[in-house]
Copies of this chain bind each other. A is one copy, B any other.
Amino acid sequence: MADDTDMPQDAAETEEKSLFEAPPMGEQERMVEAILFASAEPVTVKELNGRMPHGCDAAEALVHLRKRYEGRGVNLVRVGDAWAIRTAPDLGFLMQKETVETRKLSRAAIETLAIVAYHQPVTRAEIEEIRGVAVSRGTVDQLLEMEWIRFGRRRMTPGRPVTFVVTQEFLDHFGLESARDLPGLKELRAAGLLDNRPPPGVMPQMGEGDQDAEEETAEGQSELFED
């Protein structure tokens, strides 16, 4: 189209003729394409014809061009009685630029996460029991969405409640090989992370529904306490 390299010998004659004859359809299509691309607003067929050389048929060129853009990343669309090139509707998501903002996890979320990590597999009721307050759906959803916790097996107790466990993603984020690597209470205390020193001999009471968790963590912790 662009390369009319094989111009006939009698170029002068052709040129003179072309003053009266419309350019080939391929050329007209290019013209419509360029005009629609550069225009600040949709262009009517009438205006296209007005801007193109005499004898052009913008309406026909539009038909060809529309076909050419079918299924492409941009399409030729009709806006009233005018035409414009627009992003294909399915690619609208590309017209967004994401900026990521990092925030600290809320206290409720970090506490819930800590309970899942130390007591997994743990049911929602057990989390509430340990925290002493209800766990909002939003908090659990947030942790699920972050892929730090996931659903574990259902507990084989009446109501078959779902349990939560931490994910590999969680372990990766916190640089742990397994949840068992989490320091136990004694270690936390030694590190000064427990503000209040309970009377000696008093061990933390787990929630009553917490049998599994108790079993699971006891081992992990005693292991840690050995050194």
Contact = CB atoms under 8 A, between A and B. Distances in A.
A172 interface: no
A4 B73 CA distance: 14
By Cβ-Cβ distance, the 8 closest A-B pairs, closest first, are A33-B73, A30-B73, A2-B71, A34-B73, A34-B87, A34-B91, A5-B151, A37-B74
Dominant secondary structure of chain A at its interface with chain B: mixed
A35 interface: yes
A65 to B, nearest CB: 8
Contacts of A37: 37, 73-74, 85, 87
A4 B2 CA distance: 56
A227 interface: no
Say which size band chain A's interface belongs to: 35 or more
Interface of A: 1-5, 29-35, 37-40, 50-52, 70-74, 85, 87-88, 90-91, 94-98, 141, 144-145, 151, 154, 162
Given A29-B73, A74-B33, A94 B5 contact: no
Contact of A2 (B31, B38, B85, B141): B141
